[in-house]
A and B are shown apart, each in its own frame.
Chain A
Amino acid sequence: GENVEQHPSTLSVQEGDSAVIKCTYSDSASNYFPWYKQELGKGPQLIIDIRSNVGEKKDQRIAVTLNKTAKHFSLHITETQPEDSAVYFCAASRAAGNEKLTFGTGTRLTIIP
């Protein structure tokens, strides 16, 4: 089955600086890679996703890059703000129907004002 590793487990960044979270996956058939933000006591919120036919995707201050050959993908948050503080999870799946998402172990991001 799929195995997703995520680093770092914790990350502290000065407000306004950039944050980068990296994930690797093992299943070369995985073709869908979402990122979720989870705040304390709440369910994960989809913030951005990318499919394997695209190398990079950007949405305002958030971007995701994918390297299929190396089987890794990264989340980039620029101009960080205090409200970006949360736990971020990467995930991978063979996108379709019943295919399940395999999650990374999470990164606790803290933005220092």
Chain B
Amino acid sequence: GAVVSQHPSRVICKSGTSVKIECRSLDFQATTMFWYRQFPKKSLMLMATSNEGSKATYEQGVEKDKFLINHASLTLSTLTVTSAHPEDSSFYICSARHRATNEKLFFGSGTQLSVL
């Protein structure tokens, strides 16, 4: 149980294009989903927090118009990197807080984004 599916696992795109990353909680409902960014050999940096049906809350310094988050249901959240540039290249990871326990956070397998 408690599986979070994230797709795609790897994406290469041209500068200026948009990329959508999906995050699904497969066997549980998530009260809250979180999106992180991770640079090589670094810790996870929280980008935004989202709840189903409401606007995401972005961390300071994260551009909400660049990183669009949609939380359509209790099991699905998407992150769209708009007009991607090489500096957006990174490992993006989603996580979902289990509704039943309201504390345990489970992570997806991550998406490696490379912008050429």
A residues lining the B interface (CB < 8 Å): 32, 34, 36, 41-46, 49, 51, 89, 93, 95-98, 100-101, 103-106, 108
Contacts and interface: CB of A to CB of B under 8 A. Distances in A.
Interface in B5-42: 6, 31-32, 34, 41-42
Interface stretch (B67-75, B81-89, B97-105): B97-105
Interface string B99-113: 000111111111010
A46 B101 CA distance: 14
Interface residues of B, number: 26
A44 B103 contact: no
A97 B102 contact: yes
A108 B30 CA distance: 30
B105 A43 contact: no
B46 interface: yes
Given A89-B44, A97-B31, A97-B32, A45 B103 contact: no
Nearest to A43: B107
Q: Which of B44, B106, B107, B110 has the most CB of A within 10 A?
A: B44
Contacts of B79: none
B112 A44 contact: no
A103 B34 CA distance: 13
Contacts of A106: 41-43
Contacts of A41: 110, 112
23 contacts: A34-B104, A41-B110, A42-B109, A43-B108, A43-B110, A44-B44, A44-B93, A44-B107, A45-B107, A46-B104, A46-B105, A46-B107, A49-B104, A97-B31, A97-B32, A97-B102, A98-B32, A98-B51, A98-B57, A101-B34, A101-B46, A104-B43, A108-B41
Given A89-B43, A98-B57, A103-B43, A34 B31 contact: no
